[in-house]
Amino acid sequence: MQETMIPPTDSLMLYNTPVLISKNTDRKSPKARPSRACPQQSSDSCPVQPPPRFSSTEDTWKENEATLDTIFPPREWMVGKQQWLQRVSSFPCTRTDVVRLEELLDANLQRRQARDTGICPVRRELYTQCFDELIRQVTINCAERGLLLLRVRDEIKLSFAAHETLYESSIGFGMRKALLAEQGKADMEKCTADLQNEIQDLNRELNEEKAKCDVIEQREAEKRQVEEKKYTEEIQFLKRTNQQLKNQLEGITPKK
């Protein structure tokens, strides 16, 4: 009876046909290579494979398989109590496969609505898959070149991770600065309000003192007017008295 199988997510990487691994037995030997059909991938996501080429020796073929398994470990998944294994394809590619890969990349970018510019996880994921497929194709023809490209890929991933860490750190730093600025703004607003209240209190006290000063000045002016009037009356009285005494003195003193 045919078993039901749920394959993993489609990828631009070219994989062999999944093989069933019994749960209680060891994996099949890598020498037992499955057929090159790709039932788990749709016709839009599985590049057409060329017929096998037998120009390479069996040792070179095995070495390429071992290198590919090192670079791209086989993926595994469970369906019920059954375990499935799938390795990347080790067959060489043709120019048609490369053109087909480009068409699949463009189609997936459009289908998954990847953004053309800016940060886009979907676009980054698809280009990563495409780069892995190119590494696979190069490794089949030259393992050393494939391993060198692997180092380049890992360095790019490290650079991406470093930039993401710096970005997250800068975001956190910016948020902390924004919070401190908001807190400082609240403190400055409170200090400004306190100073404005103090200014209002001082202005009120100033107005009160000015009112008191005006009352005192008015009172002193009235008092000065009263005193001046009094002094004027006394002077007039003294002048009249003096004149009377002078007249009396002249009347008493005989004239010569």
pLDDT in tens, 148-159: 999 999 999 999
DSSP assignment letter at 16: -
| Amino acid in the structure at residue 142 | C
Q: What are the structure tokens assigned to 78, written together?
A: 């469970």
Distance CA 256, CA 238 (A): 29
Contact 33, 17 (CB under 8 A): no
- H or E element: which one contains 175? helix 143-252
Q: Does residue 125 carry a pLDDT above 50? A: yes
Locate the domains of the chain by residue range. Answer: 19-141, 171-246
Query: What pLDDT score does 57 carry?
Result: 60
Q: Does residue 104 carry a pLDDT above 60? A: yes
pTM value is 0.53
Q: How confident is the model at residue 203 (pLDDT cuts 50, 70, 90)?
A: very high
Handedness of CA 134, 85, 43, 112 (dihedral sign): negative
Distance CA 145, CA 127 (A): 19
> Among 38-42, 82-86, 90-94, 186-190, where is mean pLDDT lowest?
38-42
Query: What pLDDT score does 22 carry?
Result: 66
Q: Does residue 52 carry a pLDDT above 80? A: no
Q: How confident is the model at residue 36 (pLDDT cuts 50, 70, 90)?
A: very low
Round to the nearest angstrom and report the end-to-end CA distance of the chain.
177
Query: What pLDDT score does 180 carry?
Result: 84
Q: Does residue 1 carry a pLDDT above 70? A: no
Q: Look-up: residue for tokens 């749709």?
A: 42
Cα dihedral 127/131/134/136 (nearest 10)? -120
> Among 32-36, 136-140, 151-155, 158-162, where is mean pLDDT lowest?
32-36
Mean predicted lDDT score pLDDT of the chain: 79
